[in-house]
Structure 1
Amino acid sequence: VKQAGLEDALSDESIAEEVSAPEAGELSKDLEKMGPTFIKLAQLLSTRADILPVPYLEALARLQDDVEPFSFKEVEEIVTEELGVRLSKAFTNFEAQPVAAASLGQVHRAQMRDGREVVVKVQRPGIRELVLKDLEILQGIAEFLDNHTETGRRYEFSKILAELRKSLLRELDYSQEARHLITFNRNFREFERIVVPMPVEDYSTTRILTMDFIEGKKITALSPLALMDLDGYQLAENFFALTSSKSSLTASSMLIRIREISS
């Protein structure tokens, strides 16, 4: 933090205005190397314009949560332990290569015995224990800063950490995410252009989440021509409905697909 110039930027607003993008970028890279807890902390801080100068906000917002996947052997062990049956008994097909891998878990495509196409999110081995250990360390640092520094008293880092802890523990409980998916399906049935995957409850636990596979693209991946075909007003209304929900479901937990509605 000190090397990246953040210490001075937090304590002196005039210095904050002079912070360069490279300095902010270095802090972003350092936090990424420190692991999932610090990546999530960076993402949280990227929303705090009241604390950080613009170069830091921009650098931290770009921080990626993409990491190397863990082994398929570990995936098999976790699924077997959580479901109580061998992976080959639970699914007719289960792709060894994940379609996405993040710091807390990874996602695999699979097919159930009844032919249903699904994706299975599997929590990274030992990640809960690692996150709790990191949070304990950060808690000690936050309390020290709040009690012994002017910067800490001004920004109340312990409160920021409490928000981070709540968010991370929520993300690590896949059974809670499954319940939110069910709630979202019920609450947003009237929005025809919002598609929420339904969880397979018998195949979901706190560490694995099985849900419908839904084909789609991120809006940011659409071409300019495709974007012109979207109903911007309808899209904005749908997103407002989602973000206004009191559910703790995160954006990364749900696929929103824009589809054509037959007349």
Structure 2
Amino acid sequence: MGWGNIYRRRANVFTLAMIIYIDYKALQKREKFMKKPKSDALWKKAHERNAKRVFNLMVELEGLWVKLGQYLSSRADVLPSAFISILKQLQDSLPPRPFEEVCRTIEKELGKSTKELFLDFDENPLATASIAQVHHATLIDRQKVVVKVQYEDIKKIILEDLKDAKSIVDWIAWAEPQYNFSPMIDEWCKEAPQQLDFNHEAENTRTVSQNLGCTSKYDSNKPINQVDVFIPEVIQSTEKVLILKYMDGIRLNDLESLEACGANNQKIVEQNKLYLKLNL
């Protein structure tokens, strides 16, 4: 993606920010002359209207904006319910990138084509996210794996988008001090370079697995401090490609599937509470 497209993205972002700000400011002035029921109805419509605007632009721009939308969808303590319900749709898979792009990145990063590296490679991704998509594949030795492939040019795009997001957040914090997301953006600016290098993710996966005492599902020599959790083995990593051992699983919010496989929901809740405490 050239700088021309970067500037177009920037123009779209700042234009929408201004449209939404003017929309809300105009409503603030109008509501002074309204009764509360009518005012509440207009605010509800405004939230829905602007949430859809934000959602549509985030889907169009992808990258950082999807990640930001996913974060904001969890902030019911700050945002109106219309934003939460609409932005939650960003938790689902996004439209995939072309398979040709995936093959180019793999060959560039690993030095061989997908046909040379894999017996089988599913062209349809298992999942698509803000910076990468994941495919199921089979290595030459017949081991089942998942391959996480970073989108082309996403690093440059995200680093530029971060600058735009910080400018908007700082402006909002100045104009409306009660909405100050500056600490969040500052943290993202520090973390983004590491998230865009899958070697860091690979190393973190190995470290967590070692610290929790995780072993293979079929290993009888389990360490004393083993935690009852499986973490996929890292097969290979580069900056833009990560290959992990395939492990089937169920999303925590898929209650029907969890019940069908006999999962202990109470135990899952307790483990998540512990995880949250460790990360606070």
> Are 1:237 and 2:264 matched, yes or no?
no
Task: Report the Cα distance in structure 2 between the residues aligned to 1:90 and 1:137, rounded to whole angstroms.
Answer: 39
Letter paired with 1:221: D
User: Contact 1:28–1:60 (CA<8 Å) still a contact in 2?
Assistant: yes
Shift of 1:95: 2.3
SS in 2 for 1:165: helix
Partner of 2:253: 220
Per-residue deviation, residues 89-129 of structure 1 (Å, max 9, x unmatched):
33233222222222311111122232221110000111111
Structure 2 vs 1, CA of residues 43 and 170 (structure 1 numbering), >3 Å: closer, same or farther? farther
- Normalised by the length of structure 2, the TM-score is 0.71
How far apart are 1:50 and its partner, in Å?
A: 4.5
Following TM superposition, where does structure 1 have runs of at least 4 consecutive aligned residues deviating by more than 6 angstroms?
14-17
Cα distance per residue 1:4-60 (max 9 Å; x no partner):
988459x89x97894346335423334333322222222222333443223323332
Conserved in 2, the CA contact under 8 Å of 1:65 and 1:103? no
Higher helix proportion (structure 1 or 2)? 2
Instruction: Please tell me the residue identity of whatever aligns with 1:89.
Output: E
Partner Cα distance (1:178, 1:69) in 2: 23
What residue identity is the alignment partner of 1:232? N
Given candidates 86, 110, 132, the residue that maps to 1:83 is: 110
Taking only aligned residues, the RMSD between alpha carbons, in angstroms, comes to 3.4
> Aligned residues, how many?
240
Deviation digits for residues 183-216 of structure 1, max 9, x if unmatched?
2222333332x2211111xx21121110010122
Gaps of at least 5 residues in structure 2 are: 1-16, 30-35, 215-225
**Aligned counterparts of 2:55 and 2:99: Cα–Cα separation in 1:** 30
Decide which structure has the larger Cα Rg and report it. 2
- What SS does the aligned partner of 2:145 have? strand
Where 1:210 maps in the other structure, the secondary structure is strand
Code of the aligned partner of 1:199: V
In the superposition, relative to structure 1, how do residues 166 and 6 fare at CA in structure 2: closer, same or farther (>3 Å)?
Answer: farther
CA distance in 2, matches of 1:45, 1:16: 22
Q: Distance in 2 between matches of 1:217 and 1:241?
A: 20
Which ranges of structure 1 fall in alignment gaps of 5 or more residues? 248-263
2:155 equivalent in structure 1:
128
- 1:61 aligns with 88
Confirm whether residue 191 of structure 1 aligns to residue 227 of structure 2.
yes
Q: Does 1:211 align with 2:244?
A: yes
What one-letter code is carried by the residue in structure 2 that aligns with 1:164? W
| 8 A contact 2:97–2:151 mirrored in 1 | yes
Whether the 8 Å CA contact 2:159–2:192 is kept in 1: the answer is no
| Paired residue secondary structure (1:183) | helix
Residue number among 164, 173, 179 corresponding to 1:155 in the alignment = 179
User: Residue 48 of structure 2 aligns with which residue?
Assistant: 22
Verify: 1:32 aligned to 2:59, yes or no: yes
1:42 corresponds to: 69
Q: Residue in 2 aligned with 1:252?
A: none
SS of the aligned residue for 1:88 comes to: helix
Provide the C-alpha distance between the structure 2 equivalents of 1:52 and 1:6, rounded to a whole number of angstroms: 16
Q: Is residue 201 of structure 2 the alignment partner of residue 177 of structure 1?
A: yes
Q: After alignment, is 121-130 or 27-36 more displaced?
A: 27-36
> 3-state SS of the aligned residue for 1:63?
helix
Shift in CA distance, 8/32, structure 1 to aligned 2, threshold 3 Å:
farther
TM-score (norm 1): 0.75
CA deviation profile, 1:134-160 (whole Å, cap 9, x unmatched): 11222233334445x2x1x44334323
One-letter code aligned to 1:191: V
Q: Give % identity.
A: 26
